[in-house]
A and B are shown apart, each in its own frame.
Chain A
């Protein structure tokens, strides 16, 4: 799965997610990536999220919207992402990752899997990583 979130100089946010799904999946299986709120969500009032991971688990908790819900309650993007990913892990046993940008330009890339490749550019500064803490 691949995804992107962004905020432009007018303060508009957007998200995009695309995937080939699960290896050897049943014909006709659709995962989170096509489902609004699970594979991604964007609202100028809060921010934008794109997800990756075990699709069925993310659909059960509507992961992208859950992250934004926590941000609406006052959490930082990082805390909201960790809280939502932890809920998915404990509630349905699913692992995954999210990238988030808030409507004030704060961002995060968090994951409960061993790895997730991510990159960001803000203030002309490129950062990227694959492993936790990188």
Chain B
């Protein structure tokens, strides 16, 4: 079988000033995943590394660059799945870690569960020696500005009701 990787950096509106960064970010992620596949690595390793690359890239809404919740905090969700045995792991509402997808993989490989959430996910991260980082390190100027503008628009709560994640 010839290896193939496909990545996405999110659907919705990609503003012109972010377009070049998004383009180079998805290319970097795809090439990173493909190089693993070319060396005989697994599809699971390839998708994890590709997603880590985009989580670390502030142009995308995941990891560093995540949008903020109504309190101005980052809460992240992630899932990974292995088609060989239908194994899967996920985390939700997780805070203060750089790469939620790595934590999701640990849920899949180190527990009998499918999904850990919020405080429990963070406790599990600690138990797995995933370093905790200050939440501010995940917040970019762009996500902060976006959050502030949304607060101003609170007088019209129906606006952006169908915003993409």
Binding site for B on A (CB under 8 A): 1-36, 39-44, 47-48, 50, 52-55, 57, 93-97, 99-101, 103, 105, 107-109, 111, 113-123, 126, 128, 130
Does B50 reach chain A (CB closer than 8 Å)? yes
Complex-state Cα separation, A115 to B118, whole angstroms? 31
Does B43 reach chain A (CB closer than 8 Å)? yes
Complex-state Cα separation, A72 to B10, whole angstroms? 26
Return A82 CB to nearest CB of chain B, in Å. Answer: 14
Does B134 reach chain A (CB closer than 8 Å)? no
Return B71 CB to nearest CB of chain A, in Å. Answer: 6
Complex-state Cα separation, A100 to B165, whole angstroms? 19
Please determine whether B74 and A20 come into contact, CB atoms closer than 8 angstroms.
Answer: yes
Given contacts A4-B6, A27-B75, 10 further A-B contacts (CB under 8 A): A2-B10, A6-B3, A9-B3, A12-B84, A16-B80, A18-B79, A27-B71, A36-B114, A43-B83, A101-B4
Please determine whether A21 and B29 come into contact, CB atoms closer than 8 angstroms.
Answer: no
Return A94 CB to nearest CB of chain B, in Å. Answer: 7
Complex-state Cα separation, A34 to B14, whole angstroms? 23
Residue of A nearest to B115 (CB): A34
Complex-state Cα separation, A64 to B75, whole angstroms? 22
Complex-state Cα separation, A39 to B101, whole angstroms? 13
